[in-house]
Amino acid sequence: MQWVFKAYVISYGGLLLLGGRLSDLFGQRRLFMGGFLLLTLASLLAGLAWSEPVLIIARALQGVGAALSSPAALSLVMGLFTDPRELGKAMGLWGASAAAGGSAGVFFGGVITQWLSWQWIFLIYVPFGLLVLLLCPGLLPEGSVRRGRVEYVGALLVTGALVLAVYAIATAEYVGWGSLQTIGLLVLAALLLGAFLLLQRVQAQPLIPLRIFTAPNLSAGNVITALLAATWIPLWYFLNLYLQQVLGYSALTGGLALLPITVTIMILMVTLTARLVHRFGFKTNLVIGLLCLAASLGLFALAPTHGNYLLHVLPASLLAALGMVLAYVPATIAAMSGAQPEDAGLASGLVNSSYQIGSALGLAAMVALSTAITASSFQAETNQIIAINAGFHAAFAGAAIIGLLGALLALVWLRQPKAFPKVEQVEDIAEVRR
């Protein structure tokens, strides 16, 4: 179950930098459509998968398609809007579609699994994917094109480092954290990452020009984005498991139980996010959002085995939704706002990559922690549900600590720029952008 998720986020996160670079070189619309075509075909393969390895391979191919299309999409959004207020609204819609879309997938996944079968979770992508491809030429601009070459070796190095790191953490619960395998894989991952950074320094046209990290808030924004993902994804993963394995909900009922999060995110991101960012800036919203997520996880860490939905699930879920509304878009803005226009695709790929890397590593670590606590609880506890819930509590608490760390880093590391002047008071929009 972990690898059905991780196969996607590893290939997605590892290749996003390459996707961002390709979108800058070949045009955003072309890369978006190419990536979406691969995503659609991989979804068909996943729905028809005849074995577990085929399913995992299909999920990895879905990640490759997403890695090509996602940076191109965000670059198009950032390039279409120059008015800060319009950009804030656009990013609010972007955040709503990204966060609420993933949340809605959990709900509809439960409905489809209950009424049809799990295969249709993937097969349903195919007609929607074809519809998107038909609409793209008439709705999306071509985007900008730059001259240059593609640095594939760097993409392989950073993807290999991510795969090894996630695999080492995911298997440490079985072979031991101090085992030769775990330590060896983590050391090898670090060496590959070091080789990647060295290659970027000496290449004439690197995958990541290291100068981009001099952009204000880019490094801080990406680190905090990774911590946000490492907080949010384990929350979703273990909340689903708590509902079904502890409270005994079906897939359909579990999806319905998570619907308030989806609706809250969709409504507040569209109606509130842009106003809050314009009023208070991205730093304040980001810090408060991460604190809300940490508090929500703290509440879930106290949820009993015979929990009540209205008392132990719904309030913490709504608090988590509010935290994501406050944190997601500001984290993206913080990581991208200082990049030069010609680096928009690269900055987009970088922040998306940070989110996926945080997702993969955060989930792997929390699953390892949960499994270890559950295994030790089995030895002292005859009730299996209590032992399983003890593992879930540990995962929720661990993710809460990550959220608190992210809030602390956002508070001390991010630099809040001066507020934009009111657009109607500015004659030249270039002054606003500066």
Least trusted range by pLDDT, from 38-52, 90-104, 306-320, 400-414: 90-104
Q: What integer best gives the mean pLDDT of the chain? A: 80
pLDDT at position 423 is 36
Choice between 104 and 7, residue whose per-residue pLDDT is larger = 7
- The answer to whether 142 and 28 are in contact (CB under 8 A) is yes
Domain tally for the chain?
1
In Å, what is the CA distance from 265 to each residue of 224, 277, 289, 304?
20, 16, 12, 26
Q: Does residue 411 fall inside a structural domain?
A: yes
Per-residue pLDDT at 200 exceeds 90: no
Choice between 426 and 259, residue whose per-residue pLDDT is larger = 259
Q: What does the pLDDT average to over 284-308?
A: 92
Q: Does residue 194 fall inside a structural domain?
A: no
Residue 380 burial (CB count, 10 A): 9
Per-residue pLDDT at 296 exceeds 90: yes
DSSP state at residue 410: H
Highest mean pLDDT range out of 12-21, 145-154, 155-164, 384-393? Answer: 384-393
Cα–Cα–Cα angle for 177, 183, 185, rounded to 5 degrees: 115
Q: What does the pLDDT average to over 79-88?
A: 70
Look-up of token digits 């009023």: 279
pLDDT at position 344 is 65
Q: Does residue 192 fall inside a structural domain?
A: no
Choice between 404 and 372, residue whose per-residue pLDDT is larger = 404
| Domain containing residue 254 | 2-151+203-417
Model confidence at 140, in pLDDT bands (50, 70, 90)?
confident
- The answer to whether 161 and 358 are in contact (CB under 8 A) is no
| 304-319 confidence digits (pLDDT tens) | 998 888 999 999 999 9
Q: What does the pLDDT average to over 369-376?
A: 86
pLDDT at position 342 is 63
Q: What does the pLDDT average to over 422-427?
A: 35
Tell me phi and psi for residue 383, to 5 degrees.
-85, 115
Q: Does residue 182 fall inside a structural domain?
A: no
pLDDT at position 381 is 62
- Count Cα atoms within 13 angstroms, Cβ side, for 79: 25
In Å, what is the CA distance from 286 to each residue of 68, 141, 277?
27, 31, 9
Model confidence at 145, in pLDDT bands (50, 70, 90)?
low
Tell me the percentage of the chain whose pLDDT exceeds 70. Answer: 84
| 177-189 confidence digits (pLDDT tens) | 788 998 999 999 9
Q: What does the pLDDT average to over 295-301?
A: 94
Q: Does residue 145 fall inside a structural domain?
A: yes
pLDDT at position 421 is 34
Choice between 171 and 32, residue whose per-residue pLDDT is larger = 32
Choice between 398 and 372, residue whose per-residue pLDDT is larger = 398
Q: Does residue 166 fall inside a structural domain?
A: no
Q: Does residue 177 fall inside a structural domain?
A: no
Q: Please give the full DSSP string across 34-101, using - where no structure is assigned.
A: HHHHHHHHHHHHHHT--SHHHHHHHHHHHHHHHHHHHHHHHHHHHHH--SHHHHHHHHHHHHIIIIIH
Q: What does the pLDDT average to over 254-262?
A: 82
Q: Does residue 249 fall inside a structural domain?
A: yes
- CATH number of the domain at 252, please: 1.20.1250.20
| 110-139 confidence digits (pLDDT tens) | 778 878 888 888 998 899 999 989 988 888
